Amino acid sequence: MNYEAICNQVCDIAKQVGNYVKTERDKNHVNIEIKGSNDFVTQVDKAAEQKIVTELKKLIPDAGFIAEEGTDDSKGIVYNWIIDPIDGTTNFIHGLAPFAISIALQENEELVIGVIYEMGLDECFYSFKGGSAYLNEAEISVSKTTQVKDSLIATGFPYSNYARLDGFMDSVRYFMENSRGLRRLGSAATDLAYVACGRFDSFYEYNLKPWDVAAGAFLVKQAGGEVCDFDGGNNYLFGQEIIASNRAMHNEFKEVISKIMA
């Protein structure tokens, strides 16, 4: 498979669908459904996912899908696309950036393509197996910050699952006192893309789904960073917890999260 060619086509699909999403947002009339506590979906999410699925089927006809809105839940034997049509739906509803399209391709158990198109700033982050990581055709890499005390950290607030809230709040307090600051943008895919390009030094969050993290985790690794679960293992795609950071401060950051949250 020509991963680079497929990746370029996925970027085109993401941008085309992103233009549709932005146009619908500008109409200022979005029908909102509630999936759960503070968990929303709009008709734009559903339509965007359908458009993405339709186009991706043309690229790899026998590939399956793991998609947030369940447009197609067929499972491929070798290839599976992992899709979030709008990561940051609450931001989208309120007209607030960032919100992003996230598309990853998994070959057997390996992620081989990752594309995140952040619509607010018109930024496309992408990478493919055997290549580097890019932002709008410019090569990117993770930051070179070596210590947590000098880092800017991203996270996400729990919005429905509060089972680990005490530990999470302990981690927030720690990083408030022992880093340059915490940021919560409301889009995990964008957070991971920003780690990949060095805007954030690290990111952590729990209760995430594969479509939230697949493309971003791949981008971070391709940009020279490290990704793991809270125990330092590899169960971050389906394990609902993730740590991503540059390589220089990864061990220190992981040890803090493991001690407080694992």
Task: Average the pLDDT over 210-224 and give the result.
Answer: 98
Tokens representing 90 are 């609450």
132 with 10, same domain? yes
Tokens representing 99 are 């919100």
Q: Is the pLDDT of residue 28 over 90?
A: no
Residues spanned by the domain of 208: 148-261
Task: Average the pLDDT over 119-125 and give the result.
Answer: 97
Domains of the chain: total: 2
Q: Is the pLDDT of residue 41 over 90?
A: no
88 with 111, same domain? yes
With 0.85 as the threshold, say if the pTM is over it.
Answer: yes
Q: Look at the block and give the residue holding tokens 């198109």.
A: 117
Please tell me the distance from the alpha carbon of residue 133 to that of residue 131, in angstroms, as a whole number: 7
Nearest to 189 by CA among 85, 112, 261: 85
25 with 118, same domain? yes
106 with 156, same domain? no
In single-letter form, the type of residue at position 99 comes to F
> What are the pLDDT digits (tens) for 59-87?
999 999 999 888 888 999 999 999 999 99
Q: CATH number, domain at 238?
A: 3.40.190.80
17 with 55, same domain? yes
Other CB atoms within 10 Å distance of the CB of residue 163? 10
17 with 129, same domain? yes
> What are the pLDDT digits (tens) for 15-24?
999 999 999 8
> What are the pLDDT digits (tens) for 125-152?
999 999 999 999 999 999 999 999 999 9
